[in-house]
Structure 1
Amino acid sequence: MHSNSGSDTRYDVIIVGAGFAGLYGVHHAARAGLRVLGIEAGDDVGGTWYWNRYPGARCDVESVDYSYSFDAQLQQSWTWTERFAAQPEIHAYLRHVADRFDVRRHYRFGTRVTAAEFDETTSTWTVGTDRGDTFRSRFVVFATGCLSEPIRPDIPGANTFAGEELFTARWPEAGADLAGKRIAVIGTGSSGIQVSPLLARDATSLTVFQRSPNYSVPMPNRPWTEAEMRQIRETYPQRREKSSYAPAATPHESIQTKARELSEDERLAAMEQRWNEGGVLFNKVFPDQNSDMAANDIVREFADAKIRAKIADAAVAADLIPNDHPIGTKRICTDVGYYEMFNQEHVSLVNLRREPIEEITATGIRTVDRQLEFDAIVYATGFDAMTGALLSIDPKGANGIRLHEAFADGPVTYLGFGIPGFPNMFSVNSVGTPSVMANMALHSEQQLDWILALIEHCRTRDIARVQARTESAREWTDHLMEVAAGTLFVRANSWYLGANVEGKKRVFMPYIGGFGNYRRRCDTERENGYPGFELSR
């Protein structure tokens, strides 16, 4: 890597990314007196909420919880308008945070990190960008996001399509006018389920191409009332306290009685309540629904009946109801009118298991059975989750080892932060952490607090190098697998396992033992002086 004259600067820490985690990290590193540089590929802060601006993009954690807890005045002064905030509001919130704490001055925006290399002799990192910059830093923190590397499906003829091609993960900033058009949506994960009902409103026709159906629970979204917002502000300390070591880092927990210990009426009442509360909370009706198949079946049959009741055509309903995984073992989606949308004359479903796509043509999509004509194709085809963004940079650690080589048999980390062979490098919200299984706002604060405490520990003790011990990482990774194996999650071909990426090693990537348990483990590691890491002067 050659440096551009003038840009060869020394920093204490470089933080890559400007989402919830990166923004928090840059602000707190600067507050701690570190020379910090933030680098972000987007033109502004926001991370996921900068890129995912497709119509209907919305968070499935309540807005008042999906926010920073570190500053009481920030918490008291910001007003969330809706129970589940949409992308524009979350992005506005993160921009407000950046303004309020003057964080942008530490960032280089519109700059993508393309390389990172550890220098053995100086124990520093050299980071290269697509603008030809080279930056040097003692530490590097990758807050590159769990769902930030979009997958472009390898469909024959994809580049021959003459109409409009859109990706939910890279929706144009100016929006897209699709009114009166014949639209194809490929993919029925979270973004496909959220975007389709909104596109259907004004389209001449909408055809949804589905490979694997997903469970979706209606999102009973509504504005917060002034009285509710007032009460939330008054009880924020207790709300945060309850979330701080909770399984999903939110104040909501499952009822404490196992499914089969309740009467049928009690079970129905509990499921009805959670269904009406909406969204991912339905994944937490009973404490045993993700570990006991009989309990899961009770919840699944309830959801199946709810979905069936929404769809007029029984054959379409059968195609939309998953039969290949226990409910909740793929992330439950949330929707506003998704199933009901298929009752409209101009909306149709193509089941790709029965009728695969052969090729995309200049005028549309040809399946094994027919040619369908479209003006626009929307790809809602998901992400190379958890590891994709970091592997696309492919850092080079000690002894010239590349990350893709270190992860050849699946990712190995210690507590998600440290990777053996990559000194002074930390990954955030990634493999080996609860990440996507928890409220990412609180998760991000916990992750960066921990990393910045370790950096401070090294600086005050003249420690030049810190890296995860191989045996600690091996034990932690085995523990991840063990915890996952005790659940039903391993029975689904989900992106939690990397099953949506061709050739990716199947390993259950998040820590599924709960945010509270994970956080306690991290606390112990810090209190004991970081025994799982090699600290060398």
Structure 2
Amino acid sequence: MWPSKSTIIYNGSPRTAAGRTLLPHPMSVNGNSTQQEPEFDVLVVGAGFGGTYQLYKLREAGFSVKVFEAGSNMGGTWHWNCYPGARVDSDFSIYQLSIDELWKEWEWTERFPGRQELVDYFAYVDKKLDLKRDMSFHTRVTAAHFDTPTDRWVVSTQNGRTVRPRFLVLCTGFASKPLFPGYKGLDAFQGIIHHTAQWPQGGVDLAGKRVGVIGTGASGVQVIQETGPLAAHLTVFQRTPNLALPMFQHKLDGAMQTRMKSELYPILFRRREQTFAGFHFDVVRRSVFDLTPEERYLAFEDLWARGGFHYWLGAYQDIFTDEKANAEVYAFWRKKVLERLRDPEMQRKLAPETAPHPFGVKRPCLEQQYWEVYNQPNVELVDLQRNPILEVTPKGVMTQDGVEHELDVLVLATGFDAVTGSITDIDLRGIDGALIRDKWSKGLSTYLGLTSAGYPNMFFPYGPQGPTAFCNGPTCVEIQGDWIVDCIAYMREHKHTRIDPTQAAEDAWVARLNEIFSTGLWDRAKSWYTGANVPGKRVESLNFTGGLPLYIRLCRESAEGGYTGFAFSESGTDGRTECQ
């Protein structure tokens, strides 16, 4: 039964406006139940930006909500990723929730906040919004099966808890299932070994140690530039050079932030929905070759000087579709990098004359002193394309040339089974009992990048076939989160207990997504954008590459049409209402 609109729900217990509890809530502490738990409206899985925003908005709309989080605290990726140098790659002004009572009183210290500042921010969010009272930590969801007779999910956790929400919202993040390399002898290493995604919360002392880093993606670059200056010796094992961009980090002035809050913040938050990737800047709707060579050089110089992702997601739109335009952008990037590298061999490995892949079709990361690290005498770079790893030994890493690189610490910066991995890791079964991992192994298929046919009452913001990889995180979770809350409220108003995308709508979405994807150069790189980084995983588009404005319009059109592309039904009936 839906709660009445005048009733506010807290932690599964309806209260009056005066705060008087109407129903008991038989819950014990530490995420375990002492008796049969009551049914409630929504279970949110994950307490990062997505889960935090979803809880706040659903609770405001009068729904009973719980959040299950596998970790010990809020923060999502910022709880788990505590490796050296972890830092966000979005400007502070938009990498936050747009809820008025939050941004008006919070001040950032750096243009690109570090991990600890994000941890502090989540603690502040909880203090302001009182979210933890509806969260259970150390509660990893292992299975979720849809019960057709009652139109509810039956959700089980690793610690033995079972709940029956009407709706399941998976805010599990696109990068939360670590990918481990299959090297022989990985378990034999006698030193310290950690994946960056499972770094000890207390940290690891790397000073004066012989450190090896496998992988040069975002976490690899951050660990390398942080570790190089303090390690006795650093060995980097690189498969593909990272086409990293300058961060141009700087401290923030309090007076400047005060001015921004009074004038710019509301405008910046609205502007996010108008740009390709949900930032405060947008791609240039012109071709690189609309400019003279002189104009082009000066334009590239300006974008570079702005720092951050301006040279990527604020550049000319044809770099994603035209190889010649892309080559111009890469040539300028290479020139800038070569200026900071002294050794010709390092120049060859890190900024080769021929691009390893088109610029920008594999996510670049932001760096501060990455290239300078390779000028240090204590830093060695192993090119795995020419000299692959044979095995991990008790003492270190053996490469094909017969050299054993002896190490005290081995860092696995080997990435994630991204976008789909955190969802397919759950024993998730829909109306026919089929595992979603089996369905998606034949070809990823969703509708609106939010739902999947045969899995009713389930949503997954910031996930498969949404704008995920090409959108600022908080922007994406707010846009999709608002859509989800509005949809559930619509169902309450119309007394629907089940919503399921039609197969026809899903097929049309996949066709449209693939058509847009095929116009770009995205498949020219072995990237987590397509799942190509995971051995045996189907290579396909995992994200919507049509830009945020188009994505918003398509979602809005469905909602304004009474949720076209979905079928509704009511518990206990066989009748289905389908919106074409």
Distance 1:409 1:270 in 2: 44
Q: Deviations over 1:176-228 (max 9, x none)?
A: 11111000000000010111111111110000001111200111000122342
Residue 10 of structure 2 is matched in structure 1 by none
Match of 1:407 among 434, 440, 444: 440
Assess if the C-alpha contact under 8 Å between 1:21 and 1:428 holds in 2.
yes
Select which of 265, 271, 274 maps to 1:236.
265
In the other structure, the counterpart of 2:183 is 155
Q: What's the offset of the Cα at 1:4?
A: 6.6
Residue 352 of structure 2 corresponds to residue 319 of structure 1: no
Match of 2:429 in 1: 396
Give the deviation of 1:26 after TM superposition.
1.0
Residue number in structure 1 paired with 2:14: none
Secondary structure at the aligned position of 2:490 is classed as helix
* 1:305 maps to amino acid: K
Runs of at least 5 residues in structure 2 that lack an aligned partner in the other structure: 1-31, 571-580
Query: Whole-Å Cα distance in 2 between the matches of residues 48 and 436 of structure 1?
Result: 14
Aligned to 2:452, the other structure's residue is in SS state coil
**Hey, what's the Cα distance between the residues in 1 that align with 2:448 and 2:283?**
26
Structure 2 CA distance for aligned equivalents of residues 256 and 121 of structure 1: 51
SS of residue matched to 1:232: helix
For residue 164 of structure 2, give the secondary structure of its aligned residue in structure 1.
strand
Query: Among residues 48, 57, 74, which one is paired with 2:102 in the alignment?
Result: 74
Contact 1:330–1:492 (Cα < 8 Å) also in 2: yes
Asked whether the equivalents of residues 183 and 391 of structure 2 are also in contact (C-alpha less than 8 Å), the reply is yes
Question: Is the Cα–Cα contact under 8 Å of residues 229 and 373 in structure 2 kept in the other structure?
Answer: no
Match among 483, 496, 500 for residue 516 of structure 2: 483
Q: Are the counterparts in 2 of residues 26 and 36 from structure 1 also a CA contact under 8 Å?
A: yes
Counterpart amino acid of residue 392 in structure 2: I
One of 381, 386, 401 as aligned partner of 1:354? 386
**Is 1:285 aligned to 2:315, yes or no?**
yes
Are 2:327 and 1:297 equivalent residues in the alignment?
yes
Of 469-478 and 224-233, the range deviating more from structure 2: 224-233
Does structure 1 residue 61 correspond to structure 2 residue 94?
A: no
TM-align CA RMSD:
1.3
Count, aligned residues: 534
DSSP-derived class of the 2:321 partner: coil
Corresponding position: 1:387 with 2:420: yes
Counterpart secondary structure, 1:451: helix
The AA in structure 2 aligned to 1:320 is L
Counterparts of 1:414-425 in structure 2 under 5 Å? 414-425=447-458
Q: Check whether the contact 2:468–2:476 (CA below 8 A) recurs between aligned residues.
A: yes
SS in 2 for 1:9: coil
Query: Which amino acid in structure 1 is aligned with residue 47 of structure 2?
Result: A
TM-score, normalised by the number of residues in structure 2? 0.90
Consecutive unaligned residues of structure 1, counting only runs of 5 or more, are none
Distance 2:360 2:191 in 1: 36
- Which of 286, 289, 301 in structure 2 is aligned with 1:260? 289
Match for 1:187 among 199, 208, 215?
Answer: 215
> Paired residue for 1:220, among 248, 256, 275?
248
Q: 2:400 aligns with which of 368, 377, 380?
A: 368
For the 8 Å contact 1:53–1:171, the answer to whether it is kept is yes
Structure 2 counterparts to residues 464-475 of structure 1, below 5 A: 464-475=497-508
Query: Contact 1:279 / 1:332 at 8 angstroms: preserved in 2?
Result: no
Check if 1:171 corresponds to 2:178. Answer: no
Contact 1:179 1:202 in 2 (8 A): yes
Instruction: Write the distance in 2 (CA, Å) between the matches of 1:424 and 1:285.
Output: 39
> What is the CA distance between 1:73 and its match in structure 2?
2.9
1:232-290 CA distances to partner (integer Å, 9 max, x unpaired)? 21211222222223211121123343211111121111111111212322113212111
Q: SS of 2:282's equivalent?
A: coil
- Work out the CA distance in 1 between the residues paired with 2:283 and 2:164: 47
Q: Quickly say closer, same or farther: Cα 1:7–1:201, change in 2 above 3 A.
A: farther
The ranges of structure 1 where at least 4 consecutive aligned residues each deviate by more than 6 angstroms after the TM superposition are none
Q: Say which of 204, 211, 215 aligns to 2:239.
A: 211
Report the TM-score when normalising by structure 1. Answer: 0.97
Structure 1 residue 85: Cα displacement = 0.9
Q: Which residue does 2:64 correspond to in 1? A: 35
**Greater CA deviation, 243-252 or 411-420?**
243-252
Alignment correspondent of 1:139: 167
Q: Among 510, 514, 526, which residue is 2:559 paired with? A: 526
Specify whether residues 529 and 99 from structure 1 end up closer, same or farther in structure 2 by C-alpha distance, changes over 3 A only. Answer: same
Alignment of 1:129 with 2:161, yes or no, is: no
Alignment partner of 2:365 out of 313, 327, 333: 333
How far 1:7 moved relative to its partner? 4.6
In 1, Cα distance between the equivalents of 2:36 and 2:445? 34
Q: Deviations over 1:280-317 (max 9, x none)?
A: 22113212111111111110000111111211111221
Correspondence for 2:549: 516
Letter in 1 for 2:258: R
CA distance in structure 1 between the partners assigned to 2:509 and 2:164 by the alignment: 30
Q: In structure 1, how many angstroms separate the alpha carbons of the residues matched to 2:36 and 2:549?
A: 42
Q: Which residue of 1 aligns with 2:476?
A: 443
Name the structure 2 match of 1:44: 73
Instruction: Measure the CA separation in 1 of the matches of 2:102 and 2:47.
Output: 18
Cα pair distance change 1:348/1:122, threshold 3 Å: same
What do residues 103-156 of structure 1 show as CA deviations (whole Å, max 9, x unaligned)?
000011011000001111111101100101101111100000001111111111
Contact 1:216 1:279 in 2 (8 A): no
Q: CA deviation at 1:17?
A: 0.4
SS at match of 2:487: helix
Shift of 1:80: 1.0
1:23 matched to which residue of 2?
A: 52
> Which range is displaced more, 164-173 or 186-195?
164-173
Which whole-Å CA distance do the structure 2 matches of 1:258 and 1:177 have between them? Answer: 49
- How far apart are the structure 2 equivalents of 1:510 and 1:459? 30
Letter in structure 2 aligned against 1:450: W
CA distance in 1, matches of 2:63, 2:285: 45
CA deviation string 1:340-392 (max 9, x = no partner): 11110000100111111111111111111111110000110000000000000
Give 3-state SS (helix, strand or coil) of 1:127's partner.
strand
Bigger radius of gyration: 2
For 1:310 and 1:193, how far apart are their aligned partners in 2?
16
CA distance, structure 2, for counterparts of residue 4 and residue 77 of structure 1: 37
Separation of aligned partners in 2, 1:287 and 1:408: 32
Offset at 1:471?
Answer: 1.1
